[in-house]
Structure 1
Amino acid sequence: MIEPRLLRTLQGHRGLAVPLWLMRQAGRYLPEYRDLRAQKGGFLNLVYDSDAAAEITLQPIRRFGFDGAILFSDILIVPHAMGQHLEFLAGEGPRLSPPLVDSTLEALAAVPERLQPIYDTVAKVRAALAPEVTLLGFAGSPWTVATYMIAGEGSRDQHDARVLAYNDPQAMDAIIRAIEAVTVDYLAGQIAAGAQAVQLFDSWSGSLAPAEFERWVIAPTSRIVAALAQRCSGTPVIGFPKGAGAKLPAYVRETGIRAVGIDETHDPAWIDANLPYDVCVQGNLDPLLLLAGGAAQDAAVAHILKAFDNRPHIFNLGHGIDRRTPIAHVERLVAQVRGWRG
């Protein structure tokens, strides 16, 4: 049986070739995605249509031969399953109602069956993937999901969630733990359906002060990692605390994760010097460099590859690929990473 290169890297092995996948690799920069979305309608229609979602997950694998396929879904499926109404408004992004800044958890009526189409998508993708490609599931981390649930939408500084956490930490803790419980079940369900590794996206962790980061990012992540170790022993968990900055070593040390995604604001040399060498790092090309392309892209890719040459490393972006990114720039990136031998 072939053991996928990406999965071996997540387990702490350093091979000759660097595995590669990109956050948001299934999406609007691909013409085949845009064609399918035009046929099917809105974003949620695609997410809950398991045939369509499986097809979208597979599109970048067919085109670029990435080592990992990331489930096509959204982090807000969890609050939708918890009973909030979810819609995506053109040009405005997601909306959740009622927002918890004006309501309570007790007012929500859970709809756990909303998770089943996601499990169906995972199973369909796993059945279609070649054995050397690792299937990645994901969820939003509790803090990031909570910011949307509380405000009802995304915000620049997560004002409503941060104020609630300061004014009523018990209420915030109840929200975080409720999200946490559903997230553990959700990730375990993805793993049971065929996901071989999972990623926790904490896109808004960078807005928190150190003590708040410890309470609302590190502690919930630690509990999720421990629960998944009990229920899905051996399945790697990738933590992605975007904007963590100097708090990243504590995040790695205290959560128990063995693989960490790093955003584009981190210096790869600093990361390499400050994280244990048995921890896999994932990242961290600036998505806008991939959009710009050319010699600057080539130089940055080489710098990242060289910095992480002596440790387990998965090449990725520092966040999701920009929808305006030319296909040729992605092809150039893939060729450079595939040709790297240190």
Structure 2
Amino acid sequence: MAGLLLDTLNSANHAERPLWLMRQAGRYLPEYRALRAEKGGFLALVYDSEAAAEITMQPIERFGFDGAILFSDILIVPYAMGQDLQFLAGEGPHLSPRLADHALGALQAVPERLEPIYRTVALVRERLGAERTMLGFAGAPWTVATYMVNGEGSRDQHATRAMAYRDPVAFGAIIDAIAEVTVEYLVKQAQAGAEAVQLFDSWSGTLAPDEFERWVIAPTVRIVDAFKAQCPDTPFIGFPKGAGEKLAAYARETGIDAVGIDETVDPQWAARELPAGMPVQGNIDPLLLLTGGEAMTRRAHFILDCFADRPHVFNLGHGIGKETPIAHVEQLLQAVRGWRR
């Protein structure tokens, strides 16, 4: 029997709402901090499949969430494409050579770098009960390209947006290469035991409307079509953070099964404008979870009420902050579990 989350992603509208949180396995958990101190840096944890599986399970064991999201990172794909990847303390991820200065053809693919991730998925699926859903994920081509081109994160993705305008043919080749690897990556996660997958487009909100169509919607269509050709029964969640009014077109045009919405989206607007019957995921502000209290409970209930007439997966508008108190997560869980359609 499918669990509540998988049922909802397959368009069932239950009275109770499933709940999981983006970045639910991470630094706000003392058990994660202890394991990281024991094992070493972030990348070492990702590539230790037993440790990564344990981390993926930690929030399930503590909170009983309805879904377990793979503990990994969106930059594993460029790492497998041949860029060097480092996570530097206090600076975040760095990729080299950056494609603003080097040709895509200079990279030598190392596909075996993806194998430990599939092993993690399989280990977690073995440990999850049938009532909970294993979620795989990847970064969307636009967001992954912003790191590959610039070599690191940036506030406005200036280098990548400039390249896309200046040389759309070369930039399109980067997008196509990322999409090709991403399809195989997601398919193999599903084959290893992921029962649903999510595509994170964390920087989609920096694009002008026509560029959004070209570098977000079009590559997502290709990925979803190719994935569904091999995994037709695996729900596909698209999450274009910052898409704003372009969200409705993304939901209609990409072929996704469910759409994630960030905290800037009005849930009343989303309930009205998104395709009828499409499952929605989101969208309480992670900062509201950080502060907690009655305001958080009221907002959670408002969001739940707004989506009462369609399938809804309760989640954050983006990832949980590292300073978030455990008690606030427990409070949110109680608020969602206590609500009924």
TM-score by length of 1: 0.99
| SS of match in other structure, 2:79 | helix
Structure 1 position 16, deviation (Å)? 1.2
Separation in structure 2 between the aligned mates of residue 328 and residue 286 of structure 1, nearest angstrom: 16
Structure 1 residue identity aligned to 2:325: P
| SS of match in other structure, 1:283 | strand
| Residues 12-61 of structure 1 deviation map (CA, whole Å, 9 limit, x = unaligned) | 11011100000000000000000000000000000000000000000000
Separation in structure 2 between the aligned mates of residue 237 and residue 258 of structure 1, nearest angstrom: 5
Separation in structure 2 between the aligned mates of residue 250 and residue 298 of structure 1, nearest angstrom: 31
RMSD value, Cα: 0.5
Alignment-derived partner of residue 42 in structure 2:
43
| SS of match in other structure, 1:316 | strand
Alignment-derived partner of residue 323 in structure 1:
322
| Residues 183-226 of structure 1 deviation map (CA, whole Å, 9 limit, x = unaligned) | 00000010000000000000000000000000000000011000
Alignment-derived partner of residue 269 in structure 2:
270
| SS of match in other structure, 2:197 | strand
Separation in structure 2 between the aligned mates of residue 300 and residue 315 of structure 1, nearest angstrom: 12
Separation in structure 1 between the aligned mates of residue 275 and residue 140 of structure 2, nearest angstrom: 23
Structure 1 residue identity aligned to 2:45: L
Structure 2 residue identity aligned to 1:32: E
Alignment-derived partner of residue 162 in structure 2:
163
Alignment-derived partner of residue 201 in structure 2:
202
| SS of match in other structure, 2:86 | strand
| Residues 72-122 of structure 1 deviation map (CA, whole Å, 9 limit, x = unaligned) | 000000000000000000000000000000001110000000000000000
| SS of match in other structure, 2:24 | coil
Separation in structure 1 between the aligned mates of residue 219 and residue 8 of structure 2, nearest angstrom: 25
Structure 1 residue identity aligned to 2:188: G
Alignment-derived partner of residue 92 in structure 2:
93
Alignment-derived partner of residue 260 in structure 2:
261
Unmatched 5+ stretches in structure 1:
none
| SS of match in other structure, 2:283 | coil
Structure 1 position 233, deviation (Å)? 1.2
Separation in structure 1 between the aligned mates of residue 39 and residue 256 of structure 2, nearest angstrom: 37
Separation in structure 2 between the aligned mates of residue 162 and residue 298 of structure 1, nearest angstrom: 39
1:109-120 paired onto structure 2 within 5 Å: 109-120=108-119
> Identity, % of aligned pairs?
69
Separation in structure 2 between the aligned mates of residue 176 and residue 276 of structure 1, nearest angstrom: 27
Alignment-derived partner of residue 24 in structure 2:
25
Structure 1 residue identity aligned to 2:52: A
Structure 1 residue identity aligned to 2:160: A
Separation in structure 2 between the aligned mates of residue 104 and residue 132 of structure 1, nearest angstrom: 47
Structure 1 position 278, deviation (Å)? 1.4
Structure 1 position 277, deviation (Å)? 2.2
Unmatched 5+ stretches in structure 2:
none
Structure 1 residue identity aligned to 2:243: A
Separation in structure 2 between the aligned mates of residue 341 and residue 255 of structure 1, nearest angstrom: 31
Q: Does 1:124 align with 2:123?
A: yes
Alignment-derived partner of residue 182 in structure 1:
181
Structure 1 position 276, deviation (Å)? 1.7
| SS of match in other structure, 1:15 | coil
| SS of match in other structure, 1:218 | helix
Alignment-derived partner of residue 7 in structure 1:
6
Structure 2 residue identity aligned to 1:106: G
Number of residues of Structure 1 aligned to a counterpart in Structure 2: 341
